[in-house]
Amino acid sequence: MPRLHFKGKVFVENHHLAVPFHELLPVREKGLSEKASLHGNLIIHGDNLAALKSLLPTYHGKVKCVYIDPPYNTGNEGWAYNDNVNSPLMQNWLGEVVDRDDLTRHDKWCCMMLPRLKLLRELLSEDGAIFVSIDDNEVHHLRCLMDDVFGEENFVANIVWHHRKSKQNDIGVSLGHNHILWYAKGRDRFEFRTLPVNEDDFSNPDDDPRGPWTMDPMDAPNVRPNLTYAIVNPMTGQAYYPPPGRCWRFSEVKYEQALQDRRIVFGRTGRAKPYYKRFLDAARAKGRSVATIWHDVGTATSATKELNEIFGKKSVFATPKPSDLLRKIILLSTDPDSIILDSFAGSGATAHAVLAQNREDGGNRRFILVECEDYADTITAERVRRVIRGVPTAKEESLKNGLGDTFSYFELGHPMRQESLLDGSHLPSWDKLAGYIFFTATGHEFDPAASNRETGFIGRSASHDVFLLYEPDVEKLKNLALTLSVAEALPSGERKRLVFAPAKYLDPDLLYEYRIDFQQLPFQIYQSLDRLAP
């Protein structure tokens, strides 16, 4: 498979592995939950690469749909490359605004996107899908990056969104579209869903007892001789044949049966070419397949008006997306209990869409938004607060009354680095370190409800019960160790025990006798992954 090469690629291909886990710190007053939780709707303020890494212990393989709207790299957005990759080349890029005159702007954009796409793939469920909005500046590079990360065999479609209806002389032509690249994590496991039919397209002008209907074309692809014949309009006597390169949808015998069954109509007046009746009841059951050109989900202008209505003022956010666009993506890729993640959250349209769709169909979908900019609270979260509580001036009744639900707001905290554990400068809580260690050692999600701080038990892998001896207190840590009395007090059983502790006072024979594998904090946290992961 052809591969995309760009300046800096060698330094960022595995950068997502080196990104440290960070604490996620709840900010109760900015959320709408009685108790902050990582297991409900989330809004996280902080660098999205670090935030995605920190979500892995809880959400690895659990996200059904990812939607992101990254910088389009037009040269006018004012974004800067800020990933702290350990390379002199990358260090020289840090903090520099990427503008049109930057000859490495495409390289920087690819370096920014690649590790994020890799983490997003890890968060996706095996039957999940990712949708990425982009325009012509980077769509060709993005397609290559997505092929690299997700596999070209998992490409689903390039959706063309008609995002602007007004005509403007951009570059000698009027640009009226954006792209949405759609990839499945595994196309063979992804369930293709249909959209609800538009019932306004159905009527019953001839009072057919079978109910409202619409007209479907009679022709179909793949020419076959037995499906090529003359159909004569009984009112006008005009004969019709299939268009060039096509045939009728069924044989002449079946056509006569359908004609007798009043399933064939010749236009609304009876004087046109033949059409096939499709009834509303059958259409509802089958649904409507999606096309690759979307012009029914709002525009950039309607998205701005929607956001202005919610905030009651203009110029809230420069490039919002319409919530209808996100709702269509949600309908195509999720079930009512899915998790939807947006790590370039912007104006918060994804959360709005999730809440609106839940309100309409009674679903229990959850959203996770990540926004690195300072407006994460004042725009992203504020929009969500308003649509949950209600917008009194809104035209739409459900938005006026409020869509309901709650969310928790988190700030990205300190990284859990070895040096921080060693010098005691930023000691994480027991729960946070337990989750970090358990996921890193086993590849499984940490379940706080299944843990027991009193015994140190933090979870069970395929082969081990895992324990953590730790207190977020430097003085206590100095005296905390795996001793004989601690080993004897561990819950008994046939399974081996993996124990993380600052130190041990047991020789190898005693470790063997008590079926214990010891790992010293913090140095050996990473050394158990290959051995314990199923």
Peptide bond between residue 205 and the one before it cis (omega within 30 degrees of 0):
no
Average of per-residue pLDDT across 482-501: 89
Query: Which of 207-216, 411-420, 479-488: highest mean pLDDT?
Result: 207-216
Question: pLDDT digit string (tens) for 424-438?
Answer: 667 888 888 898 888
Q: Which CATH number does 24-76+118-192+291-412 carry?
A: 3.40.50.150
The helix-helix angle for 382-389 and 349-361 (nearest 10°) equals: 20
Q: Which of 155, 16, 8, 12 is nearest to 89 (CA)?
A: 8
* Residue partners of 410: CB distance under 8 A and separation at least 6: 24, 25, 26, 27, 36, 38, 42, 43, 44, 45
Cα–Cα distance measured from residue 498 to residue 516, given in angstroms and rounded to the nearest whole number:
6
Average of per-residue pLDDT across 172-181: 89
Burial class (CB in 10 A: 0-12, 13-18, 19+), 160: middle
Average of per-residue pLDDT across 160-184: 86
Of the candidate ranges 107-121, 274-288, 457-471, 509-523, the one whose mean pLDDT is the lowest: 509-523
**Residue 412 bridge partners (DSSP):** 24
Residue 425 confidence (pLDDT): 65
Question: pLDDT digit string (tens) for 285-310?
Answer: 888 889 999 999 999 999 999 999 99
Cα–Cα distance measured from residue 142 to residue 301, given in angstroms and rounded to the nearest whole number:
25
Residue 170 confidence (pLDDT): 64
Give the Cβ contact number of residue 236 at 10 Å: 11
* pLDDT tier at 522, thresholds 50, 70, 90: low
Give the Cβ contact number of residue 417 at 10 Å: 15
Give Dmax (Cα) for the chain: 100
Cα–Cα distance measured from residue 59 to residue 306, given in angstroms and rounded to the nearest whole number:
31
Q: Which of 296-317 are b and which e, b meaning 16 or more Cβ less than 10 Å from the residue's Cβ?
A: ebbbbebbbebbeebbeeeebb
**Between residues 94 and 352, which one has the greater pLDDT?**
352
Q: Which of 495, 494, 439 is nearest to 468 (CA)?
A: 439
* pLDDT tier at 265, thresholds 50, 70, 90: very high
Cα–Cα distance measured from residue 227 to residue 247, given in angstroms and rounded to the nearest whole number:
6
- pTM of the entire structure? 0.82
Question: pLDDT digit string (tens) for 327-354?
Answer: 999 999 999 999 999 999 999 999 999 9
The pLDDT mean for the chain works out to: 90
Cα–Cα distance measured from residue 528 to residue 519, given in angstroms and rounded to the nearest whole number:
8
Kindly list the domain boundaries of the chain, sorted by start residue: 24-76+118-192+291-412, 199-286, 416-532
237: left (phi over 0), alpha (psi -120 to 50) or beta: left
Residue 533 confidence (pLDDT): 38
* pLDDT tier at 213, thresholds 50, 70, 90: very high
Q: What percent of the chain has pLDDT over 70?
A: 95
Residue 418 confidence (pLDDT): 61
Examine the pLDDT at 422 and tell me if it is beyond 90.
no
